[in-house]
Amino acid sequence: MAPQIVLVTGCSSGIGLAMVQRLARDPDHRFIIIATVIAMSEKNDLEAAVKDYIDKAVFIKEMDITKDGDITIVVESVINDHGRIDILLNIAGLSLIGIPENISREQVDKIFSVNVIGTIRLTQAVLPHMKEKQSGKIITFSSVAGRIGFAYIELYCASKFAVEGFFESLAAGVRAFNIRVCLVEPGPVKTGLWDFTVKQYTSHSNDDTIHAIDRRQLQNKVPRVRVEPVFEVDDVVDRVMLNCINADEPALRLLIADTNLAQAASDLTGEDGLQKLGLKELSEIE
């Protein structure tokens, strides 16, 4: 059987890099991976991690998903070289923490440009080729924050809620083409991005210029964030391989979360999330 052609974004670090490693080391050599980075200056860790597979199972390409020109060049080159794209793995993303009224227009534009618009535009570029072949998988990393709102990461949550809306709607229309959409919804994962998240919470909690209630809520949140259950990257990759990559007909959603988050995500009223995960700090400071 011919190897599956996998196009992956966000490969310079974290989950994206780990996914490329796992696919490249597949014992049955089932995959050819086109691993993209925002700039070739960002490829060093990826190149070192898969050095034995470069230009064999792994081909590194530069692609900034906020630039339509980059998307067109990469997708067309993959089709020209390999004839198809079997799996699209949308992993690239940004996080943003802050006091909601202090977030600048530039920051709003940036996070939506990457997390939402760029991800949608790449998917749009790949879809015609999958429809022509009437097969494919589109696996997109959302977040448990695409199901539940969290204080002080409102813009990140909003971007992931938008991702959920687009891909859930897309899934309903493309199954007739034998294309499966899978939304991966992890809780906190032990990556550089999570370390940055903890630092940002800590920094904002020490900001004397913000409202006292915001500051106290953040100060109550920081210890919880530091001890919050965090998944190992390999655990997430294992579950994506099992439930999305290897499954013939993957389910729309793959929630990777602890019990509290899973329960909050399943509560249709939204109150469970507010009580357990969101505004609990208010009662603690009154």
Q: Which residues are catalytic?
A: 156
Q: What's phi and psi for 57, nearest 5 deg?
A: -100, -20
d(CA 229, CA 282): 22
Whether the CB-CB separation of 132 and 75 falls below 8 Å is answered with: no
- What are residue 139's DSSP bridge partners? 89, 182
d(CA 105, CA 99): 13
Closest to 181 (Cα-Cα) out of 140, 142, 120, 143: 140
Q: What's phi and psi for 255, nearest 5 deg?
A: -90, 125
Closest to 126 (Cα-Cα) out of 176, 89, 164: 89
Whether the CB-CB separation of 205 and 219 falls below 8 Å is answered with: yes
